[in-house]
Amino acid sequence: MIIIKDLHKSYPMGKDSLHVLKGLNLEIKEGEFVSIMGSSGSGKSTLLNIIGLLDTHDKGEYFLNGQLIENLDEKKAAILRNKFLGFVFQSFNLITYKNALENVALPLYYKGIGRKERQKTAMEYLDKVGLTDWANHLPSELSGGQKQRVAIARALVTNPKVVLADEPTGALDSTTSHSVMELLKEINREGMTVVVITHEEDIAHETDRIIRLLDGVITSDERTKKVKV
């Protein structure tokens, strides 16, 4: 699903540049549940942004779903994101003036799907995250865990190939974090590739594979010993 070869990325910092990713090699197969760990500044968010086509890489090769990603303009990137990727962010990133249902339906709008069908599909996914009763509430009326569930429903609604979650539990308490991870696990069980970025060990251990990053290189890549249910 995701193949990365010798990936480099640096950010210009005044006259110098900050070399964030220093030749990463990584392969994530379809249906995997992977976490990427590292302290802040290790390059984990940068890696996720590149995988998520939110940012571009400088050097190396990146295949998404067998397609080589290069010279993407914004338009192509937007279409690929819409088609293949779903995002879950630490700060939820819901649109504040849209209710839960409308937030979930928005990716379908950009996919060009009709209004009735958008509503129907969005409702199905809200049901899946257990928020049917909250469909008409604004994000400000929802708890943190509920907001993240809405965000997950939004990430799933286009039926993407990969769900990318950047510190999905970073803003949640431990009980809520656990339930959000349970939800991601369930999605994974249904066959979705899920990549989670986190700096919390216990969150990482809920996934099947932990990739550790330090200063822009992968230091370890191991399967968790946890037995798959």
Residues found near other proteins in the complex (CB under 8 A): 49, 52, 54-55, 74-75, 78-79, 81-83, 87, 89, 93-98, 102, 106-107, 109-111, 114-115, 154, 158
Beta bridge mates, 162: 85, 193
79, with CB counted inside 10 A (0-12, 13-18, 19+), is middle
Q: Work out how close the CB of 125 gets to other proteins at its nearest, in angstroms, rounded to a whole number.
A: 13
Q: Which of 97, 202, 189 is nearest to 141 (CA)?
A: 97
In whole angstroms, the minimum distance from the beta carbon of 94 to other proteins comes to: 8
Nearest distance from C-beta of residue 225 to other proteins, angstroms: 34
Q: What kind and span of H or E run contains 163?
A: strand 162-166
Q: Which is nearer to other proteins, 98 or 205 (CB)?
A: 98
In 163-208, alpha helices (H): 174-189, 201-204
CB of 35 to other proteins, least distance (A): 20
Is 1 or 77 the residue whose CB approaches other proteins more closely?
77
Contact 184, 156 (CB under 8 A): no
Q: Which of 155, 111, 172, 190 is nearest to 181 (CA)?
A: 172
Whichever of 136 and 220 has its CB closer to other proteins, that residue is 136
State the nearest-atom distance from the C-beta of 34 to other proteins, in Å.
20
Residue placing its CB nearer to other proteins in the complex, 82 or 224: 82
In 3D space, the residue among 88, 75, 115 whose CA is nearest the CA of residue 177 turns out to be 88
Nearer to other proteins, 14 or 225 (CB): 14
Are 50 and 57 contacting, i.e. CB atoms less than 8 angstroms apart?
A: yes
